Structure 1
Amino acid sequence: MIVISRAQLAYIALPSKAVITDVKHLSSYNWIEAPTPTIVVPGAPARWNPPKGPQQLAADSGDIYDAQYAARKLDCPLEPLFRSVHTEHDAFDLNAVDVVTDRGNIRKLLSFINPEHSDKYFKGFTIDVEVVQNTALFCRDEAVTAESGRDYGFWGHGCEFEKAYTVPRIAGSTAHHRVISYQFGGLHFLVRHETDGYVEDAGDSCGSVARAMQGLVLAPTTAPTRMAGSTLSVARGGEVVPLCATLEIKTHSLRRALAFSDLAARQLWVSQTPKLVRASHDQGRFDEPQVEDVTAQIQQWEAANQPILKRLAWLMQRIVVLAKASPGGRVRIKCHVPGDKLVISPYDGPKLLPADLYAKWTAKAPSSRPTSPAAAKETAENAKQNTKRVNGTGIGQSTAVTSMDPTAAHFHFGLPTPDATKGGLDKTPN
């Protein structure tokens, strides 16, 4: 077991930079209401279609899905991600990917690194990590899959706002998810996230594609099919909406300002979502909201928050190394309230994917793992920066590792390292 405290982050040797590069859209899908878990690929997000003038909206009510896969009794939470990728890119090379994760996992690790990026309802978190060949799969373990406003006293107006200001594109849809790829901290990521909508007039670079999407609600074009050994059905339908047209919607009371820095840390930067609607209301009365292009602001936030993001890059690398060194290539990350420590331990729970998806790695020869020149340079710089050692801190001696290099794997779960009494450190999340 490895314990990582937030205090240890002050001692780590940081990489020279931590920026997202080489962003690409890979796939997308919609969950739809059906007797069994069913997705439509590529699906489509809801279309931004604001009514004219002020609107009075009711408060949200009923249950809100926090983890669609678990609420729908899906055995393997990451399965829809991989089904959508291989439906749209049958020959996609998973051997070239270092990390597969939901946006929420990265947000949780950011909140560990800097509590200011956490929300007031922080309850701790659990993330399971499984290594398949060279790829680390991150999957959150959620005890709560659907929540009610009764749990917090009041949910707000977010769902009712989306009903009034967007038009669904896929019949029976309950959510639209997207998978993007990018380089960060010397690692190649696949990141899944939910998207609230898209705008037709998204600018010259992608506006024509987005405008072509307007029209009637789309039905699946093929009957749902299911792989042997899977509980998930997949249908084809919808249209690909470019990343540059995607939209995040946030509602808030006039009495509570919604700072861009909070949104960037929690969602926009991780998913590289370029459009934002901040809709303010007075007891449910909304004035006409505006769509903001926040691409430049996301880049500015990234530049201004390098100390935090460098720690995130270092932490992600370290978690991957620990998972690879663990028996069976699997670990569980737990962060309890008040959220100032991560506990990383071996894990022997259910597999994260159906058997046929594991074959997507073994069916291909090991990839040469090509990276862009910028990513290759970043990896080399990070390795150089992280060769430093920090001793004499007296922190976490019973489970410490002696090197601050996130790629060092010379540790043993449950046993002190040879130099533990010298006070070597381990990493911290978020």
Structure 2
Amino acid sequence: MPFEFKHVASYTVLQSEAPESTIAIPGHPPKWNPFTEPKKLKSDGLQMEPYLKNDLEPLFRAIDIEKPLLNMDHMSLVTDACVLRKLFHYASSDKQHSLHENQLWSLDTEVSGDWTVVFRHFRGRPWRNPNRRESLGYGRNFERADTTNAIKENAEHQRIIRYRIAFLRVIVRYEVDGFIDNEPSPNEEPTASLELGKAETTSSGLRILEHGQKVSPRSIVEMKTKLVSPILFEDVACQLWFSRVSNLVLATHDYGPFTPPEVKDVTESLKYWQEKNQKIWIDWPAV
């Protein structure tokens, strides 16, 4: 569990001065390229989040282009990994994590046929509001210091996967921090070209470029930073599980100074975490 895991599609949100939002499909995640000596980083400060007028449209556009034969009528749920994480903590009565920094949250749902689209919405704090700025600690600058971008205008990279949990067939989207440049196995799909392909603009004003390169799901890496005290695996296990990411960087710092980071394979730790929470999986799909 989960079963029938498959990569579906991906896209990169591009920074642009144009009035319309722009995405590249399949896009390309940042490449893991860590510094090798201790390094002091500046705080992220207040940063503007990428803004898309219709946040769900890129997900469906990417699926239409990369997996046009995928039958969405067979899916029970289309959502983000962060939504599944919140529902899991709710089902487990883990108030500390489910409220996430004491925020109240609600979910907006839209039913279409036999499947349900769910995306997160925080009361009093709209998601991806173009006028909102947020302090992000050191995480964003840590990611920039440890990665390089094949797509210069990369603002964020999103991946879309599918799998089955109990009786639910789910489409899950999650944001990617980076990838490890391993050689692909013979069974993996051939990579797409980074050459720029055709471009189109949808009726909603979303500009789509066919541009980027596919990378293996096994190469994706999640990066976490924390001030002084070590990061507990329990604090990140749920996010990794729903995103199906098994490469993890845990970096601690003292207001900026970082030691050279390392990637850990947490596959076995995730299996243990799954078994430890076995009772919750009985109730979670019903939530």
TM-score normalised by the chain length of structure 1: 0.60
Which residue pairs with 1:290 in the alignment? 262
Indicate yes or no: 2:229 matched with 1:248: no
1:8-407 correspondence to structure 2 within 5 Å: 19-34=1-16, 35=18, 36-65=20-49, 68=50, 71-72=51-52, 74=53, 76-113=54-91, 114-118=94-98, 120-142=100-122, 143-145=126-128, 146-149=132-135, 155-201=136-182, 205=185, 221-227=196-202, 229-254=203-228, 256-265=229-238, 267-315=239-287
Q: 1:27 to 1:175 in 2, by over 3 A?
A: same
- CA offsets 1:203-228 (integer angstroms, 9 cap, x no match): x8589989x89xxxx9661243123x
**Structure with more strand by fraction:** 2
Unaligned runs of 5+ in 1: 1-18, 150-154, 316-430
Could you tell me how far apart the structure 1 residues matched to 2:196 and 2:180 are?
24
- CA offsets 1:175-229 (integer angstroms, 9 cap, x no match): 0000000000211100000010000137x8589989x89xxxx9661243123x3
Deviation at 1:54, TM superposition (A): 0.8
Q: Is the 8 A contact 1:206 1:242 kept in 2?
A: no
Deviation at 1:62, TM superposition (A): 2.4
Secondary structure of 2:62's match? helix
- CA offsets 1:230-287 (integer angstroms, 9 cap, x no match): 2211111111111100010001122x2211111012x101111111001121221111
- Higher deviation after alignment, 116-125 or 244-253: 116-125
Matched to 2:60, the amino acid is: F
Could you tell me how far apart the structure 2 residues matched to 1:96 and 1:54 are?
50
Q: 1:206 to 1:28 in 2, by over 3 A?
A: farther
Could you tell me how far apart the structure 1 residues matched to 2:273 and 2:186 are?
24
Q: Is the 8 A contact 2:107 2:118 kept in 1?
A: yes
Deviation at 1:125, TM superposition (A): 1.3
Could you tell me how far apart the structure 1 residues matched to 2:189 and 2:67 are?
20
Could you tell me how far apart the structure 1 residues matched to 2:172 and 2:256 are?
34
Runs of 4+ in 1 over 3 A off after TM superposition: 204-210
Could you tell me how far apart the structure 2 residues matched to 1:64 and 1:119 are?
23
- CA offsets 1:124-171 (integer angstroms, 9 cap, x no match): 11211112111111122341424322xxxxx32111111111001212
Secondary structure of 1:118's match? helix
**Structure with more helix by fraction:** 1
Matched to 2:134, the amino acid is: S
Deviation at 1:305, TM superposition (A): 0.7
- CA offsets 1:3-59 (integer angstroms, 9 cap, x no match): xxxxxxxxxxxxxxxx31111100000000221111100011100001221111111
- Structure 1 vs Structure 2 CA RMSD: 2.4
Could you tell me how far apart the structure 1 residues matched to 2:271 and 2:133 are?
33
Q: 1:209 to 1:167 in 2, by over 3 A?
A: farther
Could you tell me how far apart the structure 2 residues matched to 1:161 and 1:293 are?
20
Secondary structure of 2:43's match? coil
Could you tell me how far apart the structure 2 residues matched to 1:310 and 1:46 are?
37
Secondary structure of 1:107's match? helix
